Chains A and B, each alone.
Chain A
Amino acid sequence: MHPLLLLIWLGPLAGAVVLWAFGPQLRSLAGPIGSALVGVSFMAALSEWGSATLVDGSLEGVRQPLFAWLPQLAFGLQWDRISLVWTLIITGVGFLIHVYSIGYLAGDRAFARFFAYLNFFVFAMLTLVLSDNVVGLLVGWGLVGLASYLLIGYYIDRPSAVAASRKAFVINVVGDVGILYAVFVIVAKIGAIGYGDIFAKLTAFTPGELFIVCLALFVGAAAKSAQVPLHTWLPDAMEGPTPVSALIHAATMVTAGVYLIARFAPLWSASADARMLAGSIGALTAITGAILGCVQWDIKRILAYSTMSQIGYMIMAAGVGAYSAGILHFLTHACFKALLFLTAGIIIHNLGDEQDVRKMGGLRKQMPFAFAAMLVGVCAICGVPGFSGFFSKDDVLSATLAHGHPVMWFVGVVTAGLTAYYMGRMFLVTFFGAYRGNIDPSELGMRHPELAGTSQTAGRHPEEEEHAPAHAPAWLMSGPVAILMVPAVFIGWIAFGPNGGASAWTQFFAPVFPADVPVPGTPPDWVTSAIVLVLIVAGFGVAFLRYGNPRALLDAVPRLRIEAVRTPAILANAFYFDTAIDALFVKPAQAVGRWFGSVVDPRVIDAGVREASISANWLGHLFRSFETGLVRAYALTIAFGVACFAIYYVVIGVGR
């Protein structure tokens, strides 16, 4: 029995229940309580580090059986290296973001509800990663979708937030159905749901079935991890409060797809088609997100597209079989992307909920702390040597090449250059030049109809203005950011193998995943690193020429307006993914609904009810006509009946 495992898992649930039940009474205590429980969970996870890395025969880590839903449907916790990494990020980054939220949401009228949701999310995510079977995983998968829905729609009186939450939920349910289907196939073929049992009987699958299972799982992964073409909910999800974007839509939940592939590594390793599919979709997502990130103006949307792009990297790496590289990028990304989002949150908070980078500018002097934090985050995500992103991104790219996928490698390398460009663009537009907050929005090209959808600033709800003066100490927000700067810089070094030897990271995952065997003729890793470095410099250089050089800064306002107005329609509409999904699924579904409303409802259901009442009425009229009130007519009828009986018996009697 491992009581600490239960504490890790159930601590946040207890927080959610308490805050839900007693939120109004606890008031401002809700934040500290919620944070403390996640912090306790993190400490417990740290102290259980040793048991996760135990190797006992073929079994790795520990299993904690808990209860059986049904015979053969036992639920338990699985505590191994993969769960450990995810749990540490979920609870560790989660704790910092909880603390940050105390400051960010200070004075909000639904303060306790926010923390209840946030704790509930942590619990759901822990269910997902700690479950030892696919059904538990599916339950966690659904619950994080619910938590995400609740938190995106946190500002319940803002219609765009409600619409975004609904969209996210619906697309995530598509993924849930994929995983549900995979569970069906697995149970039908193997009759077990535990990971160990499934992997022990993989030979029960034909290659075709294996691909089907992987495909169904990948649908789930793609929906949750915002992979093309199921990514459209992620940019809209930025309607949620910024800490939510940082925790759920950057650091943890959206990487559940990577977890899924890593957890089912034996399946993917056995199906080359599935690896090809996942790798290709990952690469496609990486470049799509990067391209779309280049034309966004909303700071959170830029970060959302960059998240999508980075998850594309992770899925690509995990998809082609370089699981540890994918997980490493998850680890570093969780740190630097949470840092970027929280820093963006500080800027947004200080500017009174302004999210459009065109209205920022020159913030370097106003907010030196945010400037420094953002600089670290940008360096990390671009992969500047020495920062965490450098190690993980190069690991991802060189592993992709080593697994024999030069096309994906090429796409990933180009994406790295684009990443440097759009992050540099965001950084320079935000922090350099002159402050543009008091310039008329139309001069910045902000009222352009095609861009209306990209600006989230239009519909601020009045509550926020009322509560704008935050009475929380500033360190609540800057503290977590400062702490996150440390791993954002240094955590990549765990994957640094001196002199080409095995790094701490590869040794850590050596018992779990098969070792990467490079295909013959793979160039050494430093070639990838060098090419990526050149592209990063080029990408940042272009961004600097366009947004950072002193001449460009002089006429920044007209330049920004021209760029906004001249954005190609295909990019302004995000490659028409939303339009296509609308035309293919939403519009037909609405048409079917309207058809049911205008045809089936009045002509089948209503008509049926009406016909029933009409025939009852008609039947009544028919019977009424018999009741003439003439006693003699009744007597005649009776006599006629008696006569019929008489004739009947006479005839029968004669017949006999």
Chain B
Amino acid sequence: MIAPVEAYVTLSAILFFIGIVGVIARRNPLIQLMSIELLFNSANLALITFARSWGNNAGHIFAFLVITVAAAEAAIGLAIVVIVFRKTAFVDVDEVSTLKG
């Protein structure tokens, strides 16, 4: 049996909320990066759900695009984390605030 669209959207929203909370509440950059992956994937889930329910393939294409961007983001994000770790020996994003006004 095929689950109704609402179920997929609800799951997507739950994943998105978990991701948001992860980004905001945790201070470890690695956890934050993982939470961001969660956000991407919740968005992917919503895109594919709507694409299938409306019979429009644009959503699939966007999902592939998001996966690509997510890969790049993860690579750059991890690179930044490594550099910051080497410089400061902290693994806490709140300590990285030298650009504040």
Residues in chain A within 8 A of chain B (CB atoms): 623-632, 635-636, 639
A625 to chain B: closest CB distance in Å?
7
Question: Which residues from B are CB-within-8-Å of A625?
Answer: 101
Q: How many A-B residue pairs have CB under 8 A?
A: 36
> Nearest Cβ distance between residue B95 and chain A, in whole angstroms?
10
Q: Does B88 interact with chain A (Cβ within 8 Å)?
A: no
> Which residues of the partner chain B approach A630 to less than 8 Å between Cβ atoms?
93-94, 97, 100
Q: Is the CB of A627 within 8 A of B96?
A: no
Query: Contact between A628 and B97 (Cβ–Cβ < 8 Å)?
Result: yes
B9 CB to closest chain A CB (Å) equals 12
Q: Render B24-35 as a binary contact track against A, CB cut-off 8 A, 1 for contact.
A: 110100000000
Enumerate B47-101 residues with CB–CB distance to A below 8 Å. Answer: 93-94, 96-101
A636:B24 contact, CB within 8 angstroms: yes
Measured in the bound complex, the distance between the Cα atoms of B23 and A627 in whole Å is: 18
Contact size range, B: 10 to 19
Q: How far is the CA of A639 from the CA of B18 in the complex (A)?
A: 12
Q: Tell whether, in the assembled complex, residue A629 and residue B24 are in contact, meaning their CB atoms are under 8 Å apart.
A: no
Q: Give chain A residues whose Cβ lies under 8 Å from the Cβ of B97.
A: 628-631
Q: Contacting A632 at CB < 8 Å: which of B23, B98, B99, B101? A: B23
> In the complex, are the beta carbons of A635 and B24 less than 8 A apart?
yes
- Interface assignment of B46: CB less than 8 Å from any CB of chain A: no
- Complex CA–CA separation, A401 to B20 (angstroms): 110
What distance in Å separates the Cβ of B98 from its nearest Cβ neighbour in chain A? 7
Pairs of residues from A and B, 8 with the lowest C-beta to C-beta distance, nearest first: A629-B97, A629-B100, A627-B101, A624-B101, A631-B93, A635-B23, A636-B24, A639-B20
CA A639 to CA B39, docked complex, whole Å: 12
Chain A residues near B27 (CB-CB < 8 A):
632
Complex CA–CA separation, A626 to B97 (angstroms): 13
Complex CA distance for A632 and B32, rounded to whole angstroms = 9
- Check A629–B99 contact: CB distance below 8 A: yes
* Contact call B101/A626, Cβ cutoff below 8 A: yes
Q: How far is the CB of A640 from chain B (nearest CB, A)?
A: 10
CB proximity of B48 to chain A, nearest CB, Å: 20
A632-B31 Cα distance, complex, nearest whole Å: 12
Roughly how many angstroms separate A565 CA and B23 CA in the complex, as a whole number? 101
Smallest beta-carbon distance A240→chain B, Å: 68
Q: How far is the CB of A620 from chain B (nearest CB, A)?
A: 9
A252 to chain B, nearest CB (A): 75
Chain A residues whose C-beta falls within 8 Å of the C-beta of B99 in the assembled complex: 627, 629
Q: With A and B bound together, what is the CA distance between A630 and B100 in angstroms? A: 8
Q: Is the CB of A623 within 8 A of B96?
A: no
Complex Cα distance A632/B24, Å?
A: 5
In the assembled complex, the Cα of A625 lies from the Cα of B100 at a distance in Å of 9
Distance of B25 from chain A, by nearest CB (Å): 8
Contact (A623, B94) CB under 8 Å given A632-B24, A632-B27, A639-B24: no
CB of B6, distance to nearest CB on chain A (Å): 14
State A636–B93 Cα separation when bound (angstroms): 14
Q: Identify 8 residue pairs between A and B in the complex whose beta-carbon atoms are under 8 Å apart, listed by A's number.
A: A627-B101, A628-B100, A629-B99, A630-B94, A631-B93, A632-B25, A632-B93, A635-B24
What's the Cα separation between A597 and B79 when bound, in Å? Answer: 64
Q: Which residues of A are found within 8 Å of B24, using beta-carbon distances?
A: 632, 635-636, 639
Q: Which residues of A contact B93 (CB under 8 A)?
A: 630-632
Contact with A along B2-26 (1 / 0, CB 8 A): 0000000000000000001001110
B-side contacts of A632, CB under 8 Å: 23-25, 27, 93-94
Contacts of B98 in A (CB 8 A): 629
